[in-house]
Structure 1
Amino acid sequence: MAAMSVSSACFSVFSYKKKVNRKIRAVASQNALETEHDKVKLGGSDLKVTKLGIGAWSWGDTSYWNNFEWDDRKMKAAKAAFDVSVDRGITFFDTAEVYGSRLALGAISSETLLGRFINERKEKDPDTEVAIATKFAALPWRFGRQSVLNALKDSLSRLGVSTVELYQLHWPGVWGNEGYLDGLGDAVEQGLVKAVGVSNYSEKRLREAYEKLKKRGIPLASNQVNYSLIYRLPEQNGVKATCDELGITLIAYSPIAQGALTGKYTPENPPTGPRARIYTPEFLTKLQPLLNRIKDVGEKYGKTPTQVVLNWLIAQENVVPIPGAKNAEQAEEFAGALGWILSKDEVDELRSLASEISPVIGFPVENL
């Protein structure tokens, strides 16, 4: 009788677990379905990514971010940022071989950390799907198509994967780009990547890259450039118009202007480190009227200034912003930029207000 009772109890628990597991799978399937609707194709490629991605530039870096130090606490914060992003349906992560690498005087490679975070996540949830974007550094001593393939294979090793979803040229080559573009095409044909893109490419170089890859039947999926409400050079130099014309997705890095558009910095409390040279108290003083209006717009939607400025980019269409998340709180906030949209009048009003502010300094690679 006791054996029967135990058996019945075990059966009841087993049945309960089966019901719970079915429910979890059903919820997961529904979330996956909802996430799928929130994805966009990158250019003319078959690759679909979430409308907002996460930049991993700061992960492991000690040359620009993290106050020149990297420790276990920052490691755990970055891991939490990754997990919260995936929990909220953001599964597109952008890194690069130079982020946090020894070349960049960093503590640990961002690629290594991203690969570790993905692996740990999949151990708990094997169904986790993440789209990885990384980049080839067009260093002056690298020549030809094979240099791209060699660097890619090193990146794959650090990431612990056999393929990545998007491989990009980080900046134009000093001595030319023909061989690099050939290397991108080879990577696609060898099945090492699903799509290819470029970064920091001018309108002229963008067209050249598009045409060269097109001859091999390979679409140029993206161009990753500095683009935010207060840094609209892509609108002014023809890059965004060219992306729209050719069907190339614009991936926007520094979409919250490295924190300047969040409202956390004021003339009395400017950022520290290298950013202090760009976002000075004088600039932040001029920025206040725009920040006040962003805050007002956000209150209408129940959104933070950060969520408003990210949504401003998403509302442009053909733009995927990739803000950098250093911790869980930031990742959670970024997710709130999805699922709603600013009106055209609001987009235009914010652009008009921003145009009254002198633009911030960009990166020299844009002029190569």
Structure 2
Amino acid sequence: MAQPEHDEQSITATDKENSFRVGAAGVVKDGAQQVKLRRMGNSDLELSPLGLGCWQFSKGSGMVGKFWPVLNDADIASIVRTSLAGGINWFDTAEVYGGGRSEEALADALHAAGASPRETYIATKWWPIMRTAGSIPRTIDERLRRLKGWPIDLYQVHQPYSFSSATAEMNEMAKLAKAGRIRHIGVSNFSAAKMREADKALRAHGLRLTSNQVKYNLLDRRIERNGILDTAKELGVSIIAYSPLEQGLLSGKFHKNPALVKGITGPRKFSGGFKPAGLQRTQPLINRLDELAVKYGASPSQVALNWLIHANGETVFAIPGASKPHHAEENVRAMTFALGSDELRELAELSALCAKR
């Protein structure tokens, strides 16, 4: 399998920042589908609007790894290759995804694809539950070991529930950034107030908060009403939307064939959206996604993802996952067209009638 040269495997976050390169037109090039890149928050990262969420690479390990089928190395490699070829240039993983197994599987797949750490970017997360901010520096070597030579371009606090304050967490993150162990700093599931606290703490070190990773999709638009989205725009912080298809509900396949609901496993079994009343409530939105899919030669899922990455300018990125190679192909095709302003507004109005509040 193709491996990057040794000097690329051992590249540091500081080295990578100094050698950062994008195509002249701001697109992913060199054989990949050309995708217009955008700046992520208060950073110099130029990323594709969609990244790949890598929770599914957990290999059935750890406290959350059993939520997904166990993928073999060949399937993971194919998913990553398909994502790269489709213009995705960044991947989101986490310490808690399989206790580091997702990070390892992602690194192996990137090496096998011949990807370069200078042009392929990784976001990972520190798990804060039952820990203090002091574990951030104590666990960074493990994160880097699991990633096998890939620098951490974005290091995120996974939840706002450690034994320490957000300020203490950001102070430790800032030390890592200044030491060249990580490049940029983000958070996940932080409220508007916690985002402000984190950004203020980083400003004291001459740094800024880059992103807040939260749940956001056409059927869950709570961040538009609780201040998170407005605060992100005010601070110049990007939103990274996880669960961008509401666990597959926005694909429309469960509306077309409700019998598929019987095969659902994991947390989705308890979601009201998959029950008959939930499917009926969201049917009008699915119908319009179907109509727009026909217009653009796309799928309802692709239309839903396209809305997500365009409805708020360039503020929102999204990280759909993939448990099969064809899921990855489905993801990247969502970046090949752009809904019109009237269509973005229409979907927003229609989804407001059935979205979570």
Q: For this structure pair, what is the TM-score category when the shorter chain's length is used for normalisation?
A: 0.7 to 0.9
SS at match of 2:247: helix
Alignment of 1:190-269 (within 5 A): 190-266=179-255, 267-269=258-260
CA distance in structure 2 between the aligned counterparts of 1:162 and 1:31, rounded to whole angstroms: 20
Could you say what secondary structure the match of 1:357 adopts? coil
1:130 and 1:30 map into 2 onto residues whose CA distance is 10
Residues 183-238 of structure 1, C-alpha deviation per residue, up to 9 Å, x if partnerless? 11011101111111000000000011111101211111100000000000111101
Show the counterpart of 1:280: 274
How many Å separate the matches in 2 of 1:204 and 1:33?
Answer: 43
Question: 1:36 Cα shift?
Answer: 7.8
> Quick one: distance in 1 between partners of 2:28 and 2:52?
23
Deviations 1:15-53 (A, max 9, x none): xxxxxxxxxxxxxx9824987861111111112211110
- Unaligned 5+ segments in structure 2 are 1-26
Unaligned residue ranges in structure 1 (runs of 5+): 1-28, 102-107, 361-368
Is the 8 Å Cα contact of residues 71 and 323 (structure 2) preserved in structure 1?
A: no
Shift of 1:69: 4.8
Q: Structure 1 residue aligned with 2:139, among 141, 151, 171?
A: 151
Contact 1:67 1:273 in 2 (8 A): yes
Which of the numbers 85, 103, 109 marks the counterpart of 2:101? 109
> 1:141-181: CA deviations, max 9, x gaps?
x223x411222221110011262111000011343222211
Aligned to 1:168: 156
**TM-score computed with the length of structure 1 as normaliser:** 0.81
Which SS does the other structure have where 1:138 is aligned?
coil
Q: Following the alignment from structure 2 to structure 1, what is the Cα–Cα distance between the partners of residues 34 and 42?
A: 18
Give the conservation status (yes or no) of the 8 Å contact 2:40–2:238. yes
Q: Which residue in 1 is equivalent to 2:317?
A: 320
**Displacement of 1:254:** 0.5
The answer to whether the 8 A contact 1:163-1:191 is kept is: no
State which drifts further: 338-347 or 81-90: 338-347
TM-score computed with the length of structure 2 as normaliser? 0.83
Q: Deviations over 1:76-117 (max 9, x none)?
A: 22221111001112111000000122xxxxxx7101101111
Moved more, 276-285 or 330-339: 276-285
| Aligned match for 1:121, one of 98, 113, 122 | 113
Matching of residue 352 in structure 1 with residue 349 in structure 2 = yes
Q: What are the Cα deviations for residues 298-351 of structure 1, in whole angstroms up to 9, with x where unaligned?
A: 111111111100000111221101000112111111111113211121112112
**Pair 55,136 (structure 1): closer, same or farther in 2 beyond 3 Å:** same
Tell me the equivalent position of 2:24: none
Q: Percent identity?
A: 34
Distance 2:68 2:43 in 1: 38
Question: Helix, strand or coil: the match of 1:196?
Answer: strand
